[in-house]
Homo-oligomer: A and B are copies of this chain.
């Protein structure tokens, strides 16, 4: 009943090799469930790389360096794009759709940046299916779950740990009281973090992922670069000591949520370190793990936990898309319909504000005055035992307020004479 998938693979590194291996090791089982999929051709930059030669040994797979060898081959009815980036990868994906080939991709940047264009192109080519399960949280089927399990529900919040590198670093800082610099170096030595770690530690990786989940959860198209994004570079060991006083920990989250009960179509989308209670399921996700939590009207709360990256978890998501394609179980409209929502990034919540000072008289009064000027009510003031009076951290937590007010308060506090640096602030979950 189903059509055999003759696949062209673009890029064959860690994930591509895993896809090739799974399709071979599971071929006979996949046949029993009606899925016939074979990788007919692979397009790579270095066709003689030993890993690739070893991988395809004994297989009748064509290796090429030319995109058009696959794109112009009418016997190939499906492509898998694992090149990354938004230049050549975009050309390959758009051309494949135009040629009525199904597309499976793990490319979060491409999907996040071009959802409207992809939607239009797919509407013009209604036979084409587009799968992108592997683009967010490698081993967690979160794309498909959002596509298929919340149609009768109204989602209120999607929040997740979607970057394993920074979660590994934060977990290490919490467990060992280690400094940011030390855990970054360790993550780099272990190969978890890049030599230039900016995509991870500055939150840009999560930015693209939450843009995709925001579309699926709320139907809102938001450019990744429009998402207010704060990374973890300013988090210090002392923040974990304060978080512990609050029975909490600190996680880098991508969040998309209805921000105002009185105006249910206002959505806030942001990436930020967040103070998370240890009793919250998000707080229990340590190491390099990923989690996506969904709050909704019908289901109240749900969470999906798993590996966020790695050869076989990510390859498994690509294979899931192949199987769903083979079984015709990919929805014809892969992104949620665009809905009339407004983006409201001046979101509300309780905030954690860490202030570094040289100790003296009248400090609490003056900080209190700045809070009052900004219209913020202070919830608690936390102080660890003081070691060095010339360099003291203390923490103010706020009642529910708006981000813009916290920014005003922080500016005011920064200009006080005894304050040593710009206060660090982040939301409390």
Contacts and interface: CB of A to CB of B under 8 A. Distances in A.
B304 A316 contact: no
B299 A307 contact: yes
A148 B131 CA distance: 13
A284 interface: yes
A89 interface: no
A386 interface: no
Contacts of A29: 151
A145 interface: yes
Nearest to A303: B305
A34 B1 CA distance: 23
Chain copies in the assembly?
A: 2
Contact of A33 (B35, B310, B333): B333
A302 B337 contact: no
Interface in A286-339: 297-307, 310, 312-313, 315-316, 319-320, 322-324, 327-329, 331-333, 337
Contacts of A324: 148
A153 interface: yes
Contacts of A300: 139, 306-307, 310, 312-313
Nearest to A37: B152
Contacts of A316: 149-150, 152-153, 298-299
Contacts of A301: 305-307
A26 interface: yes
A298 B140 contact: no
Interface in A130-167: 139-141, 144-145, 148-153
A16 to B, nearest CB: 14
A77 to B, nearest CB: 19
Nearest to A149: B141
Interface string A240-260: 000000000000000000000
A140 B300 CA distance: 11
A327 B323 contact: no
Contacts of A329: 148, 329, 331
A305 B152 CA distance: 19
Given A300-B307, A307-B300, A333-B33, A26 B149 contact: no
A139 B153 CA distance: 11
20 contacts: A22-B153, A30-B151, A33-B333, A33-B337, A141-B149, A144-B149, A148-B320, A149-B316, A152-B322, A153-B319, A281-B285, A281-B305, A297-B312, A298-B316, A299-B313, A300-B313, A303-B306, A304-B305, A327-B331, A327-B332
- The 7 nearest A-B residue pairs measured at CB: A152-B319, A302-B306, A298-B316, A298-B312, A303-B305, A141-B149, A139-B299
